[in-house]
Structure 1
Amino acid sequence: MPHATAAIRTSGHRRPRWWTELPLLAVVYGLYSVGRLLVREDIPAAVDHGLAILRIEKALFLNAEHPLNRLLTEHAALGVPADFAYASLHYLVTPAVLVWMFRRRSAAYRAARTWLMTSTVLGLAGFALMPTCPPRLLDARHGFVDTMAQYSSYGWWGTGASAPRGLSGMTNQYAAMPSLHVGWAVWCGLLLWRHGRHPLVRAAGIAYPLITVFVVMGTANHYFLDAVAGAAVMGVGALLTRPVMRAADRVKDRVRAVFTPVAAPAVPSKYPVVSGGCKTSAGERIPGQRTTSADSSHAATGSAADAASDDAPAAAR
């Protein structure tokens, strides 16, 4: 995504302060969580959307969910780690990369944060416009097994995806399109690849999005097209990063203009400075200015000379 990396490279703003960033990120994440809950769960429409996606994938020979789901269902050594990864990495790796950018790549942090927030808002719009039933919630005749429920005894989750047992009502299980698990993983991967200096960090930037795609499909939480949509949302968010930053700067400038006190105008002096930048002609004296004796004798001599010169023409006549 060249636009995202270009915006990050050219972000010239100084690093924001952590005490302003934490409340901002908390508010945005709170809006994200509440937004998922407020989106109406139209279950019949969500099921129809899920089946339509499945039909499209089968027609295009993109249906990799079934073999991956069977692989994790039949091998607990793969299924249990995959469930742990789905339930935790999404909430651990993304904040870790954000903190890493804040501390180590401060010049690029603001653009990276704006990119993530903008893409997340777009994802919420997708949840609202197209509620989608994940494969694990389809009827059993469609051939999917909910691995989170199958291996729930190994972790803290129950039947409500990654939500802790008894708290499945705190999440919208029909917010599958687009997959922000994949979208946020793509964001992390691109930043690690672009700004990582150690080969292992850059390798993690490649591996993490690929592992996430494998996990979300194998656990039957997302379709392949959900993953594609998640990456597409990050691409659109990257294109909007610069305009959003410019709009935010304009809003901040206007707010500062409203709340910044206006300086009082300077009061002009009652007595202007006479000698400010002005010079007097020879022999001219500023009123009230004291003169030295040398100046006085020089002035008298000059006056006598002037009088003599005035009398000379008269004598000649």
Structure 2
Amino acid sequence: MADTLPIMTVPIEEPQWNSGAAWKLPGWAEPVMVAGILIGSMMLTRRKGYKLFDRRRTQYGLLGEEPDSARSSDDFIAGRCMIDNDHTDDVSVDSMSTSKQPPKKRRCCGATIYTPNTSRFAGHLHSRIMSKFPFLMEMFYWIVTYAFYRSTALLSQAIFSKTAIWDIAQDHGLAVLEFEQFSWLSFLWPVREQDVQQWFMHGHQTFLTVLNRSYALIHIPGTVGFIAWYYYVAPSHNTFAIVRRTMTLTNLFAFIIFIFYPCMPPRLLPQEYGFLDSVGHNNGQSVWMKGKYVNALAAMPSMHFGYSFCIGCTMLYHSGIFRKTLEPGEKRKGRAWSLFYILLGIAYPCWILITIVATANHYYLDAFAAFFVVILAYTCNRIFLVLLPLEDLLLWCLRLEKPYPSTGDRFRVRAPRP
């Protein structure tokens, strides 16, 4: 490493920052923005016609019938949903010994597991709130994911407590630069990251200011907004759940790498390597990028690009152009809308790639690794179904019935009223 460091340094004088600093949002603005997206989505995807304080049978689900409480929405996801007309609010019936509330039968690692049926709790107020606003379940999943991310910095520091984690992360960052410039794959990156940022710094700083603000604001609010939007417009909950599980597993894989392979982003490398922390210099930091629990040494892989690639692929699928047959109830989109989704599916990952490189928050190799992490996560996304028994037990402890998803309700054919 020491022999190659002088070659990798870039003796470029830092230019003056001529553009006006980006308008800095107050600390409460972004949390309020995310909360607004979640609350708005919760209202948009609410189950219409379902009354919180009406304990009578509520008509919802396919053909006006209620879904089987002994099955979860993830079973519906897998296309194995069954209909049960014997659903009851009688909470005095033992679900482990009656036909009306049989135990849930799960397959986990080749074994059959029976878990408690929570349908007896369907009449509880918190269960009815979840049934009215099923998107609350998705909010719970992402809160758990975000909490795990917040712990990666602490876990990584604990693992490298006997060594200087900052020096290790810097060595990893320099190793990435060395690999990009001197490995047999160097032809994939003909323009160095330093040259990309310097192009923006010399004569295009206003554009760089836009990228700084994009980096700060798009990642969390944009991703949350996408999840909320796709929960509503996805042709089926099966399709939505595949996307959600893929993004969640992408998170998990990336978090494991963050813990065991801390990597310093280009903007934090010593100045002689030619990078500038343009986001910090431009006062464009996000509130989500601050605090002692934020992992500043989590460059590899790039979750910004991983999310954008997953979103882009979803947009291409949603356009319907690349599918010969549509899902049941899905309507063929017009050419204008199909073209819009295709362009957005291509432009969004490209925009994020330019953003993370120009702002020196990631290396090319970070995005390259994120691409394969997403592919792996998509291939293995059903692995999360092994956690269903644990979810059943948690819901039982909370005395909560899992809500039936409202995704795709607008496509379903309802039975005519007599």
TM-score, normalised with respect to structure 1: 0.69
Kindly tell me the number of residue pairs found equivalent between the two proteins.
244
Matched-pair contact (CA < 8 Å) for 2:145–2:251: no
- Which residue in the other structure is 1:242 paired with? 382
- Which residue in the other structure is 1:207 paired with? 347
- For 1:215 and 1:124, how far apart are their aligned partners in 2? 22
Assess, with a 3 A threshold, how the Cα gap between structure 1 residues 172 and 254 changes in structure 2: closer, same or farther: closer
- Which residue in the other structure is 1:39 paired with? 156
Matched, 1:144 2:275: yes
Instruction: Determine which structure has greater relative contact order: mean sequence separation of CA pairs < 8 Å that are 6+ residues apart, divided by chain length.
Output: 2
- Which residue in the other structure is 2:79 paired with? 12
Assess, with a 3 A threshold, how the Cα gap between structure 1 residues 254 and 135 changes in structure 2: closer, same or farther: closer
- For 1:127 and 1:83, how far apart are their aligned partners in 2? 23
Amino acid aligned to 2:180: E
SS at 1:172's partner residue?
coil
Aligned ranges 1:274-313 → 2 under 5 Å: none
Q: Which runs of 5+ in 2 are unaligned?
A: 1-76, 82-130, 320-332, 400-418
- Which residue in the other structure is 1:94 paired with? 223
Matched-pair identity in %? 26
- Which residue in the other structure is 1:218 paired with? 358
The structure with more radius of gyration: 1
User: Which residue of the other structure, out of 171, 174, 185, is the alignment partner of 1:48?
Assistant: 171
- Which residue in the other structure is 2:370 paired with? 230
User: Which residue of the other structure, out of 171, 180, 197, is the alignment partner of 1:69?
Assistant: 197
Matched, 1:78 2:195: no
Structure 1 stretches of 4+ moved >3 Å: 13-16, 162-165, 167-170, 248-260
Alignment deviations for residues 187-212 of structure 1 (CA, whole Å, 9 cap, x no partner): 11111111134221221111111111
SS at 1:145's partner residue?
coil
Assess, with a 3 A threshold, how the Cα gap between structure 1 residues 13 and 104 changes in structure 2: closer, same or farther: farther
- For 1:189 and 1:253, how far apart are their aligned partners in 2? 33
* Higher share of residues assigned helix: 1
* Deviation of the 1:235 alpha carbon: 1.1
TM-score, normalised with respect to structure 2: 0.53
Matched-pair contact (CA < 8 Å) for 1:72–1:219: no
- Which residue in the other structure is 1:293 paired with? none
Range 198-207 or range 183-192, more displaced: 198-207
Amino acid aligned to 1:46: A
- For 2:391 and 2:265, how far apart are their aligned partners in 1? 41
SS at 1:181's partner residue?
helix
- For 2:310 and 2:351, how far apart are their aligned partners in 1? 14
Alignment deviations for residues 19-50 of structure 1 (CA, whole Å, 9 cap, x no partner): 32222221222222232454227111111111
* Deviation of the 1:251 alpha carbon: 5.0
* Deviation of the 1:218 alpha carbon: 0.7
